[in-house]
Structure 1
Amino acid sequence: MSGKTTIKGNPSQYVKLNVGGCLHYTTIGTLTKHDTMLRAMFSGRMEVLSDSDGWILIDRCGKHFGTILNFLRDGSVSLPETSKELAELLAEAKYYCIAELAESCTKALNKKDKVEQEPKCGVPLITSLKEEELLISSTTKPAIKLLINRHNNKYSYTSASDDNLLKNIELFDKLALWFSARVLFLKDVISTSEICCWVFYGHGKKVSEVCCTSIVYATDKKHTKVECPEARIYEETLNILLYEKSNAPDQDLMQATSTRAAVSGMSYTSDEEEERSGRP
């Protein structure tokens, strides 16, 4: 049998609560500590429903009632991580008229919404050399910069150069999506020193670069040739990850993953490598 009754007792008196099937055991002092609906329920101002075993019945979901009690005890509480659970706790805080907890939940939800709306992958566009130096020196990540300038050219392009220029941009965007959490990606569109060049930085210093342009000679005039050496760019990207979250790259790993002098920051073409190794 269940019935309605009023409860008013010593603050140290314990009461048994059944909140949506979840059982809790706490004192009247905790329930009446703050000016909430629970104070009204357990200070004799409101009738409460109880069963034959003395459990006070509260017709709410009991999932977050433990958090409610902890807030009443301490005045603060660790909030849930997920937006779903935050919204659930907010609903319970509003039901029990716990204004401070409801406000904390609302702020946490607004903050999560703001973070979720921010871009996951941001690539700064370099506007000056000073800005570039500041970005690279202030980040704790390794960095990759693509210098791209379609109009920096005094010779006509070869037939495949425009396509290769686009391939470099597409590859840069793809790598930025994959590694944006681990690497700072920068795009330089104002420099006049190169047409297409990748530069790799570790601990604020230039480690290597891959220049994608060269001059070729035709029968009557010179042409600018743009290439997209994907394998070499992938290799340098993996090498630059060795500078992540460490004081210096692992030399053994650098040697195992690269056939070129990546540690010294020197970059050679395949022809230059053969000349240095003495192969024909």
Structure 2
Amino acid sequence: MFSDTKMSGEHKTVIKGNSSKYVKINVGGSLHYTTIGTLTKQDTMLRAMFSGRMEVLTDSEGWILIDRNGQYFGYILNFLRDGTVALPESRRELMDLLQEAKYFLVQDLVQLVEAHLKRLGKDDVEPKCRIPLITSQREEQSLIATTVRPVIKLICNRHNNKYSYTPNSDDNFLRNIELFDRLALRFSGRVLFLKDVLGSNEICCWSFYGHNQKIAEVCCTSIVYGEQKKHTKVEFPEAKIFEEALNCLLYENRHSRPDLELMEATRIGSGASASQSDEEIDVMLDRMRTSNNRK
């Protein structure tokens, strides 16, 4: 590996090595770790970049920097590994993936996406909001690791309960699901929403992720003791859930950490009702947009 160092800490490097050698790639803020063998498997731009024929830009930590949309680079890597890949369902996402496949000159993937777009038809109506149902830990980890958006996950597994519920638990369980649906409809373009219906031992629990890492959790269940037996209690901490959802939105910018003062501004008092605070939430969102624009 030969390099031409620059004052900024970033430098151009020629990469060439054994096919089993691993490299670190930062594509538009989305981080990937794969082998040279995968990257050079097909005759694409990536083969030129990782076989010594082209210079690549790296940072001071050794990450190879590629200024493209990182949301779809995982699809390209999976296609290079296996020769096939599960395509996104949205026409908009398919068009974005097609653009990336053309940029990296992955011709077989280009043909696959174009054929899929033709089968969809021009007049197909697309759902406004899609929510993946998680059925295994591996599936969950893959989705969280490959997205460039913040993630909100709700575990709602009534079949995990071993005891009878307290009187208000059924209603609170439904309220959690209804709030999840409300948030998904409102922020589906900015946040990846996941619903876990099988793959966990929890009954009702919210998890919030930013930059592919868990940043908060709100568990809504507990075990309470009656006179003769145990009961499962499901709560609905609405204000706390809204608070963490707003903080989750602060992780939309992949290139900077959230502003601590702005995070504090999103704190909702413990006695506040989120269902009555939509106007306040809109004000907070405007402050977030202004802050992100300044960055």
- TM-score, L = length of structure 1: 0.51
**1:251 counterpart residue number:** 260
Following TM superposition, where does structure 1 have runs of at least 4 consecutive aligned residues deviating by more than 3 angstroms?
none
Look up the equivalent residue of 2:258 and give its one-letter code.
Answer: P
**2:208 counterpart residue number:** 200
**1:113 counterpart residue number:** 123
Residue 159 of structure 1 and its aligned partner are, at CA, apart by 1.1
Q: 2 CA distance for matches of 1:113 and 1:209? A: 41
Q: 2 CA distance for matches of 1:127 and 1:178? A: 24
Does 2:136 match 1:125? no
**1:233 counterpart residue number:** 241
List alignment gaps of at least 5 residues for structure 2: 1-116, 270-295
Q: 1 CA distance for matches of 2:200 and 2:245? A: 24
SS at match of 1:185: strand
Tell me, yes or no, if the aligned pair for 1:127 and 1:190 is still in contact at 8 Å.
yes
Tell me, yes or no, if the aligned pair for 1:161 and 1:225 is still in contact at 8 Å.
yes
Q: 2 CA distance for matches of 1:152 and 1:122? A: 25
SS at match of 1:113: coil
Look up the equivalent residue of 1:252 and give its one-letter code.
Answer: E
Residue 217 of structure 1 and its aligned partner are, at CA, apart by 1.3
Tell me, yes or no, if the aligned pair for 1:145 and 1:198 is still in contact at 8 Å.
yes
Tell me, yes or no, if the aligned pair for 1:121 and 1:176 is still in contact at 8 Å.
yes
Render the CA deviation track for 1:83-109: whole Å, top value 9, x for unaligned.
xxxxxxxxxxxxxxxxxxxxxxxx99x
> 1:1-280 maps to which residues of 2 (within 5 A)?
112-114=122-124, 117-247=125-255, 248-258=257-267
Residue 258 of structure 1 and its aligned partner are, at CA, apart by 3.1
Residue 112 of structure 1 and its aligned partner are, at CA, apart by 4.9
List alignment gaps of at least 5 residues for structure 1: 1-106, 261-280
SS at match of 1:209: strand
Look up the equivalent residue of 1:172 and give its one-letter code.
Answer: F
Q: 1 CA distance for matches of 2:188 and 2:195? A: 13
Render the CA deviation track for 1:48-91: whole Å, top value 9, x for unaligned.
xxxxxxxxxxxxxxxxxxxxxxxxxxxxxxxxxxxxxxxxxxxx
Q: 1 CA distance for matches of 2:180 and 2:220? A: 13
Tell me, yes or no, if the aligned pair for 1:146 and 1:187 is still in contact at 8 Å.
yes
Tell me, yes or no, if the aligned pair for 1:164 and 1:226 is still in contact at 8 Å.
yes
Tell me, yes or no, if the aligned pair for 2:240 and 2:268 is still in contact at 8 Å.
no
**Rg comparison, structure with higher value:** 1
Q: 1 CA distance for matches of 2:222 and 2:264? A: 28
**1:85 counterpart residue number:** none
Check 1:246–1:252 CA distance in 2 against 1; reply closer, same or farther (3 A cut): farther
Render the CA deviation track for 1:189-243: whole Å, top value 9, x for unaligned.
0033210000000010000000000111111111100011111111111010000
Q: 2 CA distance for matches of 1:205 and 1:169? A: 23
Residue 155 of structure 1 and its aligned partner are, at CA, apart by 1.4
Look up the equivalent residue of 1:123 and give its one-letter code.
Answer: I
Tell me, yes or no, if the aligned pair for 1:140 and 1:245 is still in contact at 8 Å.
no
Look up the equivalent residue of 1:234 and give its one-letter code.
Answer: F
Look up the equivalent residue of 2:189 and give its one-letter code.
Answer: A
- TM-score, L = length of structure 2: 0.48
Tell me, yes or no, if the aligned pair for 2:131 and 2:194 is still in contact at 8 Å.
yes
Tell me, yes or no, if the aligned pair for 2:243 and 2:268 is still in contact at 8 Å.
no
Look up the equivalent residue of 2:191 and give its one-letter code.
Answer: V
Q: 2 CA distance for matches of 1:191 and 1:158? A: 24
Residue 251 of structure 1 and its aligned partner are, at CA, apart by 2.0
Render the CA deviation track for 1:2-36: whole Å, top value 9, x for unaligned.
xxxxxxxxxxxxxxxxxxxxxxxxxxxxxxxxxxx
Residue 131 of structure 1 and its aligned partner are, at CA, apart by 1.1
> What number of residue pairs does the alignment pair up?
151
SS at match of 1:223: strand
Tell me, yes or no, if the aligned pair for 2:157 and 2:198 is still in contact at 8 Å.
yes
